[in-house]
A and B are shown apart, each in its own frame.
Chain A
Amino acid sequence: MELLIALIPALPLAGFLFAVGVGPRLDRVPGHGHHGDHDAHGDHEAHEGDDHEPVDDSHFRSVPTEEEQRETSPHAGHADDLANAEGAAGVIPESLNDGIGQAGHVTPGAERPRYRSWVVPTVLVGIGWLISMWVFAQVVFAGQTYEVTVYEWIASGDFVINISFLVDELTAMLLLVVSSVGFLVHVYSIGYMDGDRGFWRFFAYLNLFMFSMLLLILGDNFLMLYVGWEAVGLCSYALIGFWYKKPSAAGAAKKAFVVNRVGDFGFGLGIMMIWVNLETLSFREVFAQIGTLDEGTITIIALLLFAGAVGKSAQFPLHVWLPDAMEGPTPVSALIHAATMVNAGVYLVARANPIFAEAPTAMWVVASIGVFTAIFAAAIALTQNDIKKVLAYSTVSQLAYMFFALGIGAWTAAIFHLVSHGFFKGLLFMGSGSVIHGAGGEQDMRFMGNLRAKMRWTYLTMIVGSLALAGIPIFAGFFSKDEILAEAFNRGYYVFYGVGVVVAFMTAFYTFRMIFMTFWGEWRGPAEVWRHVHESAGTMVAPLVILAVPTTLLGLILGIPPEEGLIHDWLDPIFHDVAHTGALPGSILAGYDSRGEEHHFELLGLGGLLLLVGAAVAVAGVALAYRWYVRQPDAPGRFVERIPLGFGPGMYRASANRYYVDDLYQLVWARGGVLASNALWWFDAKVIDGTVNGAGWLASKVGGGLRQVQTGRVENYGLGIAAGLAIVIFVYAAVVR
């Protein structure tokens, strides 16, 4: 069994190494100057029909230049869809579609391209998924916990760190999400990334990411967690900036990494503080001894750890990277920014629950940031026109829900929402990728419409995902979100509860706004593109269908009865001791102290009422979206006009501009950094170099002056001697006297 657990992260690592070493050889990509360079891209067939441009690393060039894009597609600029290496108008005719995906866009006469480098990585991840499911079953159903030590990594005096894995119920839940969605994303990418020059590179990075994420959740000490944490950050950088020739993608990757780093810095400090105070980093030992520290220290540690979570899980104020991360290919968004990497922050706080439980102040901070970010991100999502941006801000908002839950002590509810969100958000993202693919690279919903006529599978699965996200009863999101809100109400956080309800309404609204704009109404794009709109390939649709299953059923399986469902039984061993902790009692926002109270769910009592409120709010949101985006398209505009005091257009603009947070950061940090850098440069060049050069200049001038003394004339020298004599005898006479 230990071997199997050690295999879970090892398999993707092997896949990565394979993909890097052998992958390039397995692909043959079509030509834009595919010149016969080193064997790494090695087919030596003749390249008739290729135009040999004198480009150096053309076999990495996976994105058309801006001019090409502009020439061929009126809405290009969203180079998300790589199938359009030659622009939307150059889409492959049906006869060349062999069903495996968008068969590579060949220039007539050249060799048929093939993409085989997906096989080994995907298969390895698939095997890993099977093992993970087996382990999950063992842990959850048979109550096993596994601790596996693989290698003694650091043994330096008292500082001992092992590469060892801990698999308990919490890890098992994360394993479920990460492995399943990860595997499905691999399958999805076979179709989605077809035609991309960097095909093998994508799978290599995907596998590396899986390895890192698994390391993160399997580790049994803070340092392993941190290693995995940093590694997923690196993979995120690589994958967001996958199309690195595109300046916006490269910039987004940089932004993600830098913003993450800010959080990671706090996280690192937290780990150091743990070490300094407790001399150990292993979870078991830290949590056992955490009570020995004073509350102030614990609070600081908890807040520092939370800083890392804020960065990784894109909460305010470090949320800015996630929307920009949509520059990466859609499978990346599905995997990293919906289902796995961003959950790392939630996992961290959940795992460190003994620390947080001892620091109510920290928990209050967690909950407050969660609540604020939830409504902040939802408010931005209302006005976004890019389909992926809507989902991105939705992710931020839903993650905020999870932190909200963690902060008020509803640990299990948070994890429940994490699992259900991972599935339905992954579904939604992959569905959006399918939409973009089918709509010819277009991402702006204003130029879509009526896609349900031509993309039935995508449409149906997206509906399922949206119902879950909006929180419509039966679907997974309803149960998990409602449990969070119920916990908030029951523990007395009335203001938080109120905000949560408003956010639920907004979520339902913007989600179905997205659906109606994309799939209903009239096609608003160019007619040329409409002719080519088609359902996506099997490898892309299959994961959507597969994911629709847990999206529908997970809530029913795990969440009934509410607050006492199966998920509570599963996670009870983890959260048993801290189930009744929460944010600062007695504070205005917290309400009364509800610790120590047991409560049971009654369908005909308070619990049922809360359920009803949640459902009603969700339905209301859907209804409003229907009215505004199907029935009366000018209603939103009139609504904005009617907002009193003329705030309407300004509010709209503020929302559409993401409340100017990014601009603020650009001004303060980017331009400020440049200014500071210039100031320091000035100081270095003028003051420091000035001093050094000045010393030289001074020496030169003094030398130049002093050399005038040597006139070569004896009378001057004689004068000097006599003057010296006079001085000496004067001193002698006056002093020694």
Chain B
Amino acid sequence: MSARHIASELSTLDISSVLFFLLAVGVVGAGIAVVTLRNIIHSAVAMMVCFGSLAGMYALLGAPIVAAAQVLIYLGAISVLILFAIMLTQAGDANLPAPFHRQLPIALVVALAITGIVGWAIVQTDWALATEAVGSGVETIAETLFTEFALPFEIISLLLLAAIIGAIYLARRPEEDERAN
């Protein structure tokens, strides 16, 4: 995607493009906020904003079911879970330790490298694809989910069961552990 392309895109502004840019800013901005804010709770909130923007992107891409799932799962369950975890392990805001490692510069370099290489690959590729997003409706997804992906679907249920059991066990209080022993 060249600068001229961007310019041509800008020149043919329509609602979907504007929405895309807004959402993109939301995603990337919130993402940067997540990793740079000192307070964890602020980071968690920024994370929620990021998830929300992503849901919007999914909707733009014509996959409403995925957008709904994103909101339900990420915003509804995972974010709450993370907030609870933060609350449970807060040692108090008395002394906020240094948020970044000593390896921050190298980490920055490596992350930039990854991003750069992938981005460069993306830009260099001639995507001979359809110019317009054609999403998948609920029926299509449902059909694929219950025929092609039936087995993974069942296995995921098992996975979730295992996760629940594991989480319960791990999060026990210490004296309950001792009594069990």
Residues of A at under 8 Å CB distance from B?
A: 715-716, 719, 722-723, 725-726, 729-730, 733
Q: Return B40 CB to nearest CB of chain A, in Å.
A: 16
Known: A719-B106, A719-B107. A726 touches B114 (CB 8 A): yes
Q: Is the CB of B113 within 8 A of A715?
A: no
**Residue in A715, A726, A733 whose CB lies within 8 Å of B103:** A715
B3 at the interface (CB under 8 A from A): no
Q: Return B89 CB to nearest CB of chain A, in Å.
A: 17
| Chain B residues within an 8 Å CB radius of A726 | 110, 113-114, 117
Q: Is the CB of B106 within 8 A of A729?
A: no
Q: Is the CB of A722 within 8 A of B103?
A: no
What's the Cα separation between A719 and B114 when bound, in Å?
A: 12
Q: Is the CB of A733 within 8 A of B117?
A: yes
Closest to B107 in A: A719
Q: Is the CB of A733 within 8 A of B121?
A: yes
Closest to B115 in A: A726
Known: A729-B114, A729-B117. 12 other contacts (CB 8 A): A715-B103, A716-B103, A719-B107, A719-B110, A722-B110, A722-B114, A726-B113, A729-B118, A729-B121, A730-B117, A733-B117, A733-B120
Q: Is the CB of B117 within 8 A of A722?
A: no
Q: Is the interface of B mostly helix, strand, loop or mixed?
A: helix
| Chain A residues within an 8 Å CB radius of B5 | none
Q: Return A212 CB to nearest CB of chain B, in Å.
A: 85
Q: Return A6 CB to nearest CB of chain B, in Å.
A: 95
Residues of B at under 8 Å CB distance from A?
A: 101, 103, 106-107, 110-111, 113-114, 117-118, 120-121
Q: Is the CB of B114 within 8 A of A715?
A: no
Closest to A723 in B: B110
What's the Cα separation between A723 and B109 when bound, in Å?
A: 9
Q: Is the CB of A719 within 8 A of B103?
A: yes
| Chain B residues within an 8 Å CB radius of A719 | 103, 106-107, 110
Q: Return B55 CB to nearest CB of chain A, in Å.
A: 27
| Chain A residues within an 8 Å CB radius of B111 | 722
What's the Cα separation between A715 and B107 when bound, in Å?
A: 10
| Chain B residues within an 8 Å CB radius of A715 | 101, 103
Q: Is the CB of A730 within 8 A of B103?
A: no
List, sorted by A's number, 26 A–B pairs whose CB atoms are closer than 8 Å: A715-B101, A715-B103, A716-B103, A719-B103, A719-B106, A719-B107, A719-B110, A722-B107, A722-B110, A722-B111, A722-B114, A723-B110, A725-B114, A726-B110, A726-B113, A726-B114, A726-B117, A729-B114, A729-B117, A729-B118, A729-B121, A730-B113, A730-B117, A733-B117, A733-B120, A733-B121
| Chain B residues within an 8 Å CB radius of A723 | 110
Q: Return A55 CB to nearest CB of chain B, in Å.
A: 78
| Chain A residues within an 8 Å CB radius of B120 | 733
Closest to A713 in B: B101
What's the Cα separation between A725 and B113 when bound, in Å?
A: 10
| Chain A residues within an 8 Å CB radius of B107 | 719, 722
Closest to A720 in B: B110
| Chain B residues within an 8 Å CB radius of A722 | 107, 110-111, 114
Closest to A724 in B: B110
Closest to B112 in A: A726
What's the Cα separation between A723 and B106 when bound, in Å?
A: 9
What's the Cα separation between A565 and B107 when bound, in Å?
A: 113
What's the Cα separation between A426 and B105 when bound, in Å?
A: 100
Closest to B103 in A: A719
| Chain B residues within an 8 Å CB radius of A725 | 114
Q: Return B76 CB to nearest CB of chain A, in Å.
A: 28
What's the Cα separation between A725 and B117 when bound, in Å?
A: 11
| Chain A residues within an 8 Å CB radius of B110 | 719, 722-723, 726
What's the Cα separation between A719 and B110 when bound, in Å?
A: 8
| Chain A residues within an 8 Å CB radius of B114 | 722, 725-726, 729
| Chain B residues within an 8 Å CB radius of A733 | 117, 120-121
What's the Cα separation between A715 and B106 when bound, in Å?
A: 12
| Chain A residues within an 8 Å CB radius of B121 | 729, 733
Q: Return A723 CB to nearest CB of chain B, in Å.
A: 5
Q: Return A601 CB to nearest CB of chain B, in Å.
A: 111
What's the Cα separation between A722 and B117 when bound, in Å?
A: 13
| Chain B residues within an 8 Å CB radius of A729 | 114, 117-118, 121
Q: Return B14 CB to nearest CB of chain A, in Å.
A: 33
Closest to A729 in B: B117
Closest to A726 in B: B113
Q: Return A709 CB to nearest CB of chain B, in Å.
A: 13
Q: Which 8 A-B pairs have the closest CB atoms?
A: A726-B113, A722-B110, A726-B114, A723-B110, A733-B121, A729-B117, A730-B117, A715-B101
- Among B110, B111, B120, the most chain A Cβ lie within 10 Å of the Cβ of B110
Q: Return B141 CB to nearest CB of chain A, in Å.
A: 30
Q: Return A211 CB to nearest CB of chain B, in Å.
A: 88
What's the Cα separation between A733 and B114 when bound, in Å?
A: 11
Closest to B114 in A: A726
What's the Cα separation between A725 and B103 when bound, in Å?
A: 17
What's the Cα separation between A128 and B101 when bound, in Å?
A: 104
Q: Return B100 CB to nearest CB of chain A, in Å.
A: 10
What's the Cα separation between A725 and B118 when bound, in Å?
A: 11
| Chain B residues within an 8 Å CB radius of A730 | 113, 117
| Chain A residues within an 8 Å CB radius of B118 | 729
What's the Cα separation between A725 and B111 when bound, in Å?
A: 10
Q: Return A625 CB to nearest CB of chain B, in Å.
A: 102
What's the Cα separation between A726 and B110 when bound, in Å?
A: 7
What's the Cα separation between A723 and B114 when bound, in Å?
A: 8
Q: Return A735 CB to nearest CB of chain B, in Å.
A: 12
| Chain A residues within an 8 Å CB radius of B113 | 726, 730
Q: Return A732 CB to nearest CB of chain B, in Å.
A: 9
| Chain A residues within an 8 Å CB radius of B103 | 715-716, 719
Q: Return B131 CB to nearest CB of chain A, in Å.
A: 25
Q: Return B115 CB to nearest CB of chain A, in Å.
A: 9
What's the Cα separation between A271 and B19 when bound, in Å?
A: 107
Q: Return A718 CB to nearest CB of chain B, in Å.
A: 9
- Among B111, B113, B117, B121, the most chain A Cβ lie within 10 Å of the Cβ of B117
- Among A715, A725, A726, the most chain B Cβ lie within 10 Å of the Cβ of A726
Closest to A725 in B: B114
Q: Return A711 CB to nearest CB of chain B, in Å.
A: 10
Q: Return B18 CB to nearest CB of chain A, in Å.
A: 32
Q: Return B101 CB to nearest CB of chain A, in Å.
A: 6
Q: Return A80 CB to nearest CB of chain B, in Å.
A: 88
| Chain A residues within an 8 Å CB radius of B106 | 719
